[in-house]
Amino acid sequence: MKASLDAKDRKILYELDINSRQASSKIAKKVGLSKQVVNFRIKRLIKEKLISFFYTVIDISKLGFAVHKIFLRLQNIDSEKEKALVNFLVKHPNVVWVASCDGKFDLAFGTWAKDILFLDKTLTELDKKFGGYIAERQIATILRGDYFIRDYIIGKEKPSSYRESSFGAIPAPTKIDEKDWEILFLLGKNSRTTAVEIAKMVKLSGDAIAGRIKRLEKSGVIRHYNIVPNESKFPYLHYKVLIGFRNISEEREKILREYCRTNSNIVYIVKSLGQWEFEIDLEVESAEHFREIMMDLKKTFSDILKDYSALHIYQIHKYNFCPSVDKDVVAKS
């Protein structure tokens, strides 16, 4: 059953989407409530499972990785086996994102890899355990991902000036040590983990943790702090549109990006290498609203749109840009 959100809940969610790490006291000033009431409402949103994750957008190209997206069409699988497959991916240390969907594919996940052999190792592990249930597999390498603030939550039509946060794919390792990795790992699990809480786990002072986080932000390793709504409770539908182009120029791609940036229901876009060259994630009030946006998109870009496939994302099981503390990489950095 979908939950209902009042105006204050929407404002709080909007502020958490702008920066899920910001203090409740700051959110309170912006939404016109006390800190205590904001804390109560955030706890209620979590308890009622409207928010699945508070996550940190990490530019893992600066850690020496690229993200590869894998789309799976399943066969001869029952609910128990599918649950085991999802659980395998969620627990895998190289998998950063897992989602169940309806449409051409049944399951999608993202995995980080330092190179093709690293990727092959992850996929080989998957095939050994669940290869018999996979009818089709498509792979796309993310070249660039862009996140947009959820302006639609508060009915804001004009896009926010701070609406965009991106990460790349060209490895450009930044010098970090094992303590930095541990901090990124903890922030990846929950972006609202405080410096004091992290300090206890990493065995450094709170001031040292705060200083390291600021340095990671300044270097571009940490790009943004965001939220992942729970699709089964959140009062909006989540669609991912996979797009193939024909004869797309640099100028037309620039116009498409601006089109996505200024549409308040588009929350994420990806440029990728593979059969599908572009992904657009939308969160909309209804299937009819989705069709309206798609009709306009197809009309506006009919000259370059070759093919598309729409997936209804009905559950995100994992979203963590730093799913493990890779000590091998630390040793080489």
This prediction has a pTM of: 0.92
Transcribe 205-233 into DSSP letters.
-HHHHHHHHHHHHHTTSEEEEEEEE-TTT
Q: Provide the residue count of the chain.
A: 333
Three-state DSSP at 321 gives coil
DSSP notation for 133-192 = GEEEEEEEEEEEEEEE--GGGGT--SPPTT-EEEEE-S-------HHHHHHHHHHHH-TT
Helix, strand and coil in the chain, % to nearest 5? 40, 30, 30
The pLDDT tens digits for 258-295 are 999 999 999 999 999 999 999 999 999 999 999 999 99
Model pLDDT, residue 333: 44
* Structural element, H or E, at residue 130: helix 116-130
Q: Report residue 271: phi and psi, to 5°.
A: -100, 130
Single-letter residue type at 136? E
Residue 173: is its pLDDT beyond 80?
no
R_g of the chain, CA atoms, integer Å: 20
- State how far the Cα of 105 lies from the Cα of 310, in Å rounded to an integer: 9
Amino acid at 102: D
pLDDT of residue 166: 65
Q: What is the DSSP letter of 204?
A: S
DSSP letter (8 states) at residue 264: T
How far is it, in rounded angstroms, from Cα 105 to Cα 140? 14
**Gap between the Cα atoms of 141 and 66, Å rounded:** 8
219-267 tens-digit pLDDT? 999 999 999 999 999 999 999 999 999 989 999 999 999 999 999 999 9
Place of tokens 């497959």: 85
- For the residues 164-171, what does the mean pLDDT come to? 63
d(CA 323, CA 287): 33
Three-state secondary structure string covering 250-261: HHHHHHHHHHHH
With 0-12 CB in 10 A as exposed, 13-18 as middle and 19+ as buried, what is 302?
exposed
Tell me the pLDDT tens digit for each residue of 270-280: 999 999 999 99
Split at pLDDT 50, 70, 90, the class of 213 is: very high
